[in-house]
Homo-oligomer: A and B are copies of this chain.
Amino acid sequence: MDKPPIGFVGLGIMGLPMAGHILDAGYPLTVYNRTRSKAEELGARGGKVADSPADVAAASTVIITIVSDSPDVEEVVAGPQGVMERISEDSVVIDMSTISPEVERQLDEQLRAKGCTLVDAPVSGGDVGARNATLAIMAGGDRAAFDRVQPILEVMGKTITYCGPVGNGQLTKLSNQILVAVTLLGVSEAVTFAKKNGLDAQVMIEAVKGGAAGSWQLSNLGPKIVDRDFAPGFMVDLIQKDLRLVLEAGAAGQVALPGTSMVNQLFRMAEAQGDGREGTQILAKAVEQLAGLGS
Residues of A within 8 A of B (CB): 101, 124-126, 136, 138, 159, 161, 163-164, 168, 171-172, 174-183, 185-187, 189-194, 196-200, 203-204, 206-208, 210-218, 220, 234, 246, 249-250, 253-260, 262-263, 266, 287, 290-292
Task: Chain B residues near A174: list those with CB within 8 A.
Answer: 193
Known: A176-B207, A176-B212, A176-B213. 6 other contacts (CB 8 A): A126-B212, A138-B207, A159-B207, A176-B208, A183-B213, A258-B262
Are B253 and A168 in contact, CB atoms less than 8 angstroms apart? no
A206 (CB) vs chain B CBs: closest residue? B161
Task: Chain B residues near A207: list those with CB within 8 A.
Answer: 136, 138, 159, 161, 163, 172, 176
Q: With the chains together, A45 CA to B172 CA distance in Å?
A: 54
**Could you say how many copies of this chain the assembly holds?**
2
Are A253 and B190 in contact, CB atoms less than 8 angstroms apart? no
Q: Give the interface SS of chain A, mostly helix, strand, loop or mixed.
A: helix
Q: With the chains together, A207 CA to B182 CA distance in Å?
A: 18
Are B182 and A183 in contact, CB atoms less than 8 angstroms apart? yes
Are A176 and B211 in contact, CB atoms less than 8 angstroms apart? yes
Task: Chain B residues near A194: list those with CB within 8 A.
Answer: 171-172, 175
Are B200 and A171 in contact, CB atoms less than 8 angstroms apart? no
